[in-house]
Amino acid sequence: MGTTAQYDATAGRVIIDEHQGHPGIKSTTLSYGQINDEMLAMLDKPRPSYYLLLLGFLMALGLGALSLAIQVDVGIGYSGISHPIGWGFYITNFVFWIGIGHAGTLISAVFYLTRAPWRTAIYRSAEAMTVFAVFTAGLFPLVHIGRPWLAFWLIPYPNERMLWVNFKSPLLWDVFAVTTYMSVSIMFFMLGLIPDLAILRDEAVRKGKKLKALVYAPLALAWRGTNHQWVHYMRGYMIFAALATPLVFSVHSIVSWDFAMSSVPGWHTTIFAPYFVAGAIFSGLSMVLTVLIPMRAVFGLQDYITNHVIQSVAKMIIFTSVIVGYAYGAEFFIGYYSGSPFERAIFYYRPFGEMASWTLLGDNEINFPQIAFWLMVFCNVIVPIPLWRWKIRNNPLAVWIIAALVNVGMWFERFNIIGSSLQHEYDPSAWGEYWPTVVEVGITIGSFGFFFTLFTLFAKSLPPMAIMELKEGTNPPMRNAAKKDTDE
Amino acid sequence: MGVGGATAVIAGCEKKPEKLIPMLVPPTDYEYTPQTAYQYMTTCRECDAACGMMITTREHRAQKAEGNPNHPLNQGTLCARGQASLQSLYNPNRHAFPLADGKQIPWEEGIQQFSAIIKAASGAIAYLGKPASGSEGRFVDEWLKAAGGGQRVKFNLLTQNSQTAANKIAFNRADIPEYAFEKAGIILNFSADFLETWGNSVENARRFTDMHVYKNGKKNRFIHISPHVSLTGAKADRWIVINPGTEGLVALAIAAVMREKNGSHKFLKNYLAAYTPEKVTEATGVSVEVMRELANDAMEHGPVLALGGGNVSATDQSVETLVAVNILNSVSGALDKTIRFYNQTVPESSTHQDLTQLISDLEAGKIKLLIIDDSNPVYALPPSMGFKQALKNAFVVSMASQKSETSHLANLVLPALTAYESWGDAFPRSGVRSIQQPVMSTVNTFDAKAREDVLLSVAQNVNKKAFPGNSSYLDYLQNIWKRIQREVGDKRKFDSFWISVLENGGFFENSKYKRVTLSRKVTSVKVNDPGLIGKDGLTLLPTTSLLIGDGSGANKPWLQEVPHPMSQIVWDSWVEINPDTAQKLGINDRAIIEVTTPHGSVNATAYYHFGIHRNAIAIPMGQGHQNSGDVADGFGINVMNLLSGRMDNAGNFALVDTQATLKMVNEKSYTVNTDGNARQLGRDIAAATTVEELNSGGEKHGGHKRPVEFYPDRSETAGYYKPYRWGMTIDLDRCNGCSACVVACYAENNIPVVGKVRTALGREMSWIRMERYIEGYGDDFETRFSPMLCQHCGNAGCETVCPVYATYHNPEGLNAMIYNRCVGTRYCSNNCAYKVRRFNWFDYEFPSPLDQQLNSTITTREVGVMEKCTFCVQRIQTAKYDAKNLGRDLEDGEVVTACQQTCPTKAITFGNLMDTESKVSKNALRDETEKRDRQYEVLAELNYKPAITYLKKVNTRVVLGHESDRHDSQEQEETHG
């Protein structure tokens, strides 16, 4: 790679040229031991503030669980979903969380294959987020359906009644897509963890912590770090990355077909697959930044998650923001160009509400969908614009604010698609309105609680950064030692 | 078997069961097969129209009400109220036991008390009851005589008194004629709501539709001349806005022009000269040209049928108005053509004057005992009349079956049986003798007795000589029917005559009508302008709802739940106000307004309605109950609180006599309507065409071309549609929006009622809904109705998206729904373009004993399950089994869906689309698109291939919608043409 490494006698370290060296790690002045120490220090006994944070997330989760319990007890009618709006907050959350789950695989698999070195510091956390986001998303179909206790009927299993599932239904494709994605991302995540788990195991054994060793040892799968193991490991990792890469694009395409395959005006459009995938990456990367920038500050990881990393992610966010913005525009153009009165009506309704001539006498009413629409446009198209400037990109606080707003915007984009289209379908006499109730808000808050609880637990129990890849980014100690020797 | 046996025992005997007896050996005293439908003929007593009913019972429980096909008035169909009469029977708020001052007492004690009070009253008795066309009135009269004297006051809020009074003046006879709508070429309707509460709405609807429907390239006219467009007016070809109370003047002006031209009735020359269009134009608010045009139209398109009466014209000039209508009918030559008088008794009725007299008698203490049947005067009379206070001066015995404001105030309540459980009869018209028989044993929750039986036994307690030889009212009734048998010259033994009467639901014969001529006395009748417009404020028109009626339907969940077809509002009252007036007053649509009259004030919701005079408001009657049961109480307001109780010259209640002022209280109200949008934006869901277009062949564009498809149609696929492919046609030219089909569907398919709050969220469960769309603006607006139900698409959106095959296309073309398989993703509902799928958001309850009404041939549905119209699959199956037993296929017309069955105008046809000879195939012309003129499939461009073909409404005018509507529809044509 043409690395020029120099030994700095005063610092007692090898200094790698910043421009030519590993760009993911700031002035790669880190030694293996230092990386080990700093990474393992992150897993030390947490401070009280950690418990406070965890308690907050658990409370949110509890609120969600309570809301769900009430809903299951009283009936799905306890939510605001109604006729004709059969899908509301729950499906919005489902699509939102699946979207969040896309960044992890993108970063760990796609950028692995494309050799984007800045991924090293963040891919572990992003992958964990993927797994947790897919967990969260996977709960929502259960929350949403009328008889969740029969959800297993969606799985094609042999049974004595010869009942089979309907392979024509996009919902069934969803079942396959999401379960595949979930299993692949869990396996990919666990595979990437193996060498690090071995470090944790060794550390636990060294410090005589038997319980920890008992937990980490089986997960480390007897990793010894032999050459032989490394060869197989790297091949396996490559294969998994190749397997996971198409999923990044297929899963959200299939999720988008839940809508695109229907006949609902505002849903039935071919742009949905790329539009949803771009949106998913957009929201996923924003979520990565939303989570990692605070984490970087808390753990002092500026050396690992450099501004360069943040900038790179921010560039991806600009890129996907432009795609998403284009998709919004294209939707409107096609809505107009199709000439279909139904399409035109829904695309008028989304931004402006009831057209005056629709009502008996012409009252223009602004409703929830209009709020959702303008929030979506503002957060997803307007807010990311400052990221075009290097100064803004280089300012972690500014990037964090933008990323957080993009998350809000992407949630409302999902809602805008799902909620508003169902309100104004073909038969004006059957138009309806949708307002969420307290259980839906509670369960939505609960889903964030669930996600962040899992992530908070993860941050203290598994190395949030890939230790072995960080080490890979520095120069091998052998060579350094040799150089040191010659210099001396 | 055990359960079936137990039910059988409950229903099978007169006595209530002490314990459950498992039916290991079926009893031999009756033949009964579980799950088999037994039909009994009886008479509907929900209003005094007395339609024949055929009650389907299973397991000895009445489960479905249908019209008696033998009955000459309704010919097998029923209105919404008739369909809902089952909820009188099973109403949870029926009186369950005798009450003395609100405390439960045993029956013996009640009867003892009643007997004692009769003796004590010594003739100072009044019996306040519904007017009876049958034997009941006579029985009560005789009973009063036996009890020592007293008077009977017949109470009916929606009375035909003005008509009888006007007929007495004009034709010298006080009965109500038969209106032969089908013979008319043009109907001039002066505010009569004949499709709702005026006369027999079922018969009227049928005969009116026969006249008005598009046939052989022609369509007869119906002109609505009224300050208010009700459901009836919505069907009109033209609405002439007149000042309230001036119907008579317009009628005479038209008569004057016609008489001038046809020269008939010379004695009217001078009389009518005072009412020429020029002279009445100012008072009526109708231009001279329009009145002349109407007269010319009437002469050109005759025979004429002029109708009048009903609430909206019940001013202090109501009798004069109807005399004027009679004059118009005579001048136009309608008598004996479209209006036929028979030899028949005058319908009994007391005037408002009699009621006022009763109140003053009560106040003066002249009446010691007041007996009231199921009528509810405490609710239905304006409080300003003081009936409620006057009740305190007498001992009040309520013999009501249903809880009401009146029975709440009674000293003694002796619960009566409903018409489903007791004997009776009705003679609504000459030649129509209708019998009412118990179709089942009493509902075991209620310890009630037949009113007449109680009266009989009490009379025999008091007076040993009363009703000799009659041990029950049935004996009395049979004696009367023995007399009828003699009168009609039937030579059979009485028993076989009686059985044939019970089998047919009565005795029906044709009678000859009598010629009548206009009496010369009419010239003495002066028709005045009541001058309501000149006064301050807006004239208050108390209208009726065809669902709730005069308020007696308010405690029936179905009638509250089904949206009023015009306003689409449920569980509420509203104030109809012209948008122009409202905007001038700064009142927005659905605002809460305070309506104040000199007699009271109420808060109600403003409802923008183009179809009302700019100086008037309309409030429907029947809501605002306080003690009529859980379903009725607390919903809406009682318009009677605003009225004076004044009378016209003939002693009738002048309902339209009050000016109201409005004040906005709140911009928003919690009023629930089921329509998402009143306008269809050129989407042609409820499409219409015009006679001209049809005749010019402009509509024959070969229908909507189906796109070329990759996959073959299901009809070409093995295993499908052999031999049946069920389909339906709905003729929007026939449909008048009466919503009987909607109630019938609730009754047939165990559809739960969800209430106001849940309907507000769109959670109503109706499988068929009556969509109402408004076209145009201002006085020239048009109302369209379209029943929307599952279209059973051949290429359904719902079927493909269900992940578990809970909904699928069955071999007979039904879009079948397997409730047990449904997990509740609701994707099918999202993907249904017609939005006819309903989801069970909760586990709904049918409060006992309403659960006894549930159709036992189908299930109820649990929480989390989707449901929708099945084309009454249970009826298809039953008919198929029957045909299979006979070793043949089904014939056309053997399967009748519940909605089709009850439709008074026969707008719905159902049958096998694969049979090219079936009626539905001939109506739909699915394979012969080049022959189509009115046929269309809703949203055909989606290629869902619905099995329901609609037939366009035919207008005689072009209603211009909003520009954007036209723009849209043109675009649509361009895109898909």
Q: What is the C-alpha to C-alpha distance for residues A412 and B548, in angstroms, rounded to an integer?
A: 44
Three-point CA angle B926, B929, B933, nearest 5° = 105
Q: Where are the alpha helices (DSSP H) in A338-357?
A: 341-352
- Answer yes or no: are the C-beta atoms of B426 and B134 closer than 8 Å: yes
Q: Please state, in angstroms and as integers, the Cα–Cα distance from residue A311 to each residue in A360, A380, B345, following that order.
A: 53, 18, 97
- Residue in B147, B550, B627, B93 with CA at minimum distance from that of residue B388: B627
Q: What's residue A189's pLDDT?
A: 92
Which residues numbered 792-831 in B keep a CB inside 8 Å of some CB on A? 797, 800-805, 821-827, 829-831
Q: What is the C-alpha to C-alpha distance for residues A253 and A246, in angstroms, rounded to an integer?
A: 11
- Residue in A64, A61, A138, A63 with CA at minimum distance from that of residue A94: A138
Mean pLDDT of chain B: 87
How far is B240 from chain A, CA to nearest CA, in Å? 21
Q: What is the C-alpha to C-alpha distance for residues B959 and A125, in angstroms, rounded to an integer?
A: 65
> Where are any strands of DSSP class E within B464-591?
506-508, 513-514, 538-543, 569-570, 574-577
Q: Sorting pLDDT into bands at 50, 70 and 90, what band is B803?
A: very high
Which among A153, A168, A428 has CB closest to B800? Answer: A168
pLDDT > 70 fraction of chain B, expressed in percent and rounded: 94
pLDDT > 90 fraction of chain B, expressed in percent and rounded: 55
- Extract the tokens encoding A351: 């931004």
Largest CA distance in chain A: 92
Q: What is the C-alpha to C-alpha distance for residues B254 and B72, in angstroms, rounded to an integer?
A: 34
Q: What is the C-alpha to C-alpha distance for residues A377 and A447, in angstroms, rounded to an integer?
A: 24
Q: Please state, in angstroms and as integers, the Cα–Cα distance from residue A98 to each residue in A400, A445, B795, following that order.
A: 21, 16, 31
- Answer yes or no: are the C-beta atoms of B62 and B525 closer than 8 Å: no
Are the Cβ atoms of A171 and B803 closer than 8 angstroms? yes
- The answer to whether B268 contacts chain A (CB < 8 Å) is no
- CATH class name, domain B99-157+348-508: alpha beta
Q: What's residue B11's pLDDT?
A: 40
- Extract the tokens encoding A317: 């966010």
Q: What fold, for B161-342?
A: Dimethylsulfoxide Reductase; domain 2 (3.40.228)
Contacts of A431 in chain B (CB under 8 A): 676-677
Residue A342, exposed/middle/buried by CB under 10 A (0-12, 13-18, 19+)?
buried
CATH of domain B2-89: 2.20.25.90
Total domain count for chain A? Answer: 1
- Answer yes or no: are the C-beta atoms of A101 and A180 closer than 8 Å: no
Q: Sorting pLDDT into bands at 50, 70 and 90, what band is B253?
A: very high
pLDDT over 70 at B125, yes or no? yes
Residue ranges of domains in chain B: 2-89, 99-157+348-508, 161-342, 538-673, 688-976
| Pick among B804, B838, B840, B844 to test the A interface (most A CBs inside 10 A) | B804
Give the range of the structural domain holding residue A134, as residue numbers without chain letter.
5-487
Q: What is the C-alpha to C-alpha distance for residues B775 and B798, in angstroms, rounded to an integer?
A: 30
Strand order in the sheet with B395-398: B103-104, B99-100, B412-413, B395-398, B369-372, B125-129, B151-154
- Answer yes or no: are the C-beta atoms of B958 and B690 closer than 8 Å: yes
- Residue in A283, A349, A355 with CA at minimum distance from that of residue A316: A283
Please name every residue paired with B577 in a beta bridge, in sequence order, or none if there are none.
B608, B617
How far is A419 from chain B, CA to nearest CA, in Å? 11
- Answer yes or no: are the C-beta atoms of B771 and B675 closer than 8 Å: yes
Please name every residue paired with B43 in a beta bridge, in sequence order, or none if there are none.
B52
- Extract the tokens encoding B536: 């301050």
Q: What's residue A18's pLDDT?
A: 43
- Answer yes or no: are the C-beta atoms of B604 and B636 closer than 8 Å: yes
Q: Which residues have CB under 8 Å from A267's CB, separation 6+?
A: A259, A260, A417, A421
pLDDT tens-digit map of B770-786: 999 998 888 889 999 99
Half-sphere exposure of B794 (CA within 13 A, CB side): 25
pLDDT over 90 at B19, yes or no? no
pLDDT tens-digit map of B213-252: 998 888 999 999 999 999 999 999 999 999 998 999 999 9
Are the Cβ atoms of B842 and A74 closer than 8 angstroms? yes
Query: Can you tell me whether residue A128 is helix, strand or coil?
Result: helix
Query: In chain B, helix, strand, coil percent, each to 5?
Result: 30, 20, 50
Residue A54, amino acid: L
Which among B679, B863, B964 has CB closest to A428? Answer: B679
Q: Please state, in angstroms and as integers, the Cα–Cα distance from residue B452 to each residue in B397, B433, B741, following that order.
A: 14, 19, 34
* Count of other CB atoms within 10 angstroms of residue B829: 24
B570: which DSSP letter? Answer: E
Q: What's residue B559's pLDDT?
A: 94
How far is B179 from chain A, CA to nearest CA, in Å? 35
Tokens 């809904």 locate to B769
H or E, element range at B257: helix B247-262
- Residue in B424, B435, B438, B495 with CA at minimum distance from that of residue B14: B438
Q: What's residue B809's pLDDT?
A: 92
The CATH architecture of the domain made up of B538-673 is Beta Barrel (2.40)
Q: What's residue A485's pLDDT?
A: 44
What integer is the mean pLDDT of B284-311? 90
| Pick among B567, B711, B827 to test the A interface (most A CBs inside 10 A) | B827
- Strands B432-436 and B838-839, bridge-based pairing: unpaired
Q: What's residue B214's pLDDT?
A: 92
* Bond from prior residue into A351 cis (ω within 30 degrees of 0): no
> Where are any strands of DSSP class E within A172-240?
none
Q: Please state, in angstroms and as integers, the Cα–Cα distance from residue B868 to each residue in A126, B798, B903, following that order.
A: 45, 11, 20
- Answer yes or no: are the C-beta atoms of B937 and B784 closer than 8 Å: no
Which residues numbered 864-893 in B keep a CB inside 8 Å of some CB on A? 864-866
Q: What is the C-alpha to C-alpha distance for residues A413 and A406, in angstroms, rounded to an integer?
A: 10
Q: What fold, for B688-976?
A: Alpha-Beta Plaits (3.30.70)
| Pick among A147, A150, A429 to test the B interface (most B CBs inside 10 A) | A429
Q: How many CB pairs under 8 A join A and B?
A: 206
- Go through B8-34 and write b for each residue having 16 or more CB atoms within 10 A of its CB, e for each that does not: bbbbbeeeeeeeeeebeeeeeeeebee
- CATH number, residue A430: 1.20.1630.10
H or E, element range at A14: strand A13-16
Strand order in the sheet with B61-67: B38-43, B52-58, B61-67
The question of ipTM being above 0.95 is answered as no
Q: For each successive 10 residues of chain A (488 residues), what is the average pLDDT?
A: 49 48 50 80 85 95 94 87 90 93 86 83 90 94 91 90 90 93 92 91 89 91 90 92 90 93 91 92 92 89 86 92 94 90 89 68 65 91 93 93 95 90 90 88 95 93 85 62 44
pLDDT tens-digit map of B437-446: 999 888 888 9
With both helix axes pointing from N to C terminus, report the angle between B247-262 and B277-284 in degrees, rounded to the nearest 10: 160
Q: What is the C-alpha to C-alpha distance for residues B774 and B172, in angstroms, rounded to an integer?
A: 44
Which among A84, A163, A345 has CB closest to B835? Answer: A84
Q: What is the C-alpha to C-alpha distance for residues B941 and B459, in angstroms, rounded to an integer?
A: 71
